Amino acid sequence: MSARAAGAVVSPMLLRLAREHATGALIRDHGTLYLVDGRVAHARSPVAPGADVLLTAGGRQPRQGRISAGELEICHLGALFDAAFFALAPGRGPARFQYGAVHGTPAAPAVRPVPAADIERETLRRRELLDTVWPYPAVDAAPVVPRPAAPGQTVTPRQRDLLAHADGLRTPAQLAWALGRPAFHVLLEIRRLAAAGLVTTPPEPAPPVPYEAMTHGAVPYRAVPREPPLHDPAGFAPEPDIALLRRLRDALEAHL
């Protein structure tokens, strides 16, 4: 069952503020959502390039009259959804709300506020899409390191451009800023490249070993290294070692 079908909620606080028709700033670890009468009017995140960056990278200059008001609004709405996705990512600290706060870009054109339910729904859809493509999020924040393609393997023009700019140091977010692309779109392409074996994938963190298993002598406790999954030219990726670790954990718990 999908997260949306199961009634998952990204931010109960956002939905509560929407019901209250609140105006202010919802501040989270990875960004801020600005609400007007309970609707999201603006969002920003250090991960996601703003509309100004996206327009400049695309060769569009609204100040010179090269873009219509409709195109400009679409661009700002796209940037809003992009920033909101990362702002609503799970964080370590609690969210807080500043009543009455407004975003500090008064020169930006007015954008039609978006219902909080639409932000929630789109955020869940994007999370599910990422997990469907490559369900290992460690690649999201790691430097992008290209790997040689298999014989006959092809990439799309967008993927080729990403790989050309991947220097082994830039993360997906840094590539999004360098290329002037929406951060989610870059992240999605990186996961597709990971699934195809065209970028190095970092190891997933190992699950914690139960304390009893370390002290009761069920098995000797030792660290189990994990190699990044390799691309199979036949189109199949081997099962990651994380699954083996989980089976080991289950077996240990069954004997306690």
Task: Tell me the per-residue pLDDT of 92-129, one tens digit each, with 9 for 90 and over.
Answer: 888 999 999 998 754 455 578 999 999 999 999 999 99
Residue 197: other Cβ atoms inside 10 A: 21
Is residue 255 classed exposed, middle or buried when 0-12, 13-18 and 19+ CB atoms within 10 A define those classes?
Answer: exposed
Q: Is the pTM of this model over 0.85?
A: no
pLDDT in tens, 229-250: 444 444 444 444 555 555 555 5
pLDDT surpasses 80 at 134 = yes
Alpha helices in 110-182 (DSSP H): 116-133, 157-165, 172-179
Beta bridge partners of 44: 32
Q: pLDDT higher for 10 or 241?
A: 10
Cα–Cα distance between 175 and 189 in angstroms, integer?
11
DSSP per-residue string spanning 194-243: HHTT-B--PPPPPPPPPHHHHHS-SS-------PPPPPPTTS-PPPPHHH
Q: pLDDT higher for 185 or 244?
A: 185
pLDDT of residue 167: 93
C-alpha 50: how far from chain center: 16
Q: What is residue 174's three-state secondary structure?
A: helix
Q: pLDDT higher for 178 or 2?
A: 178
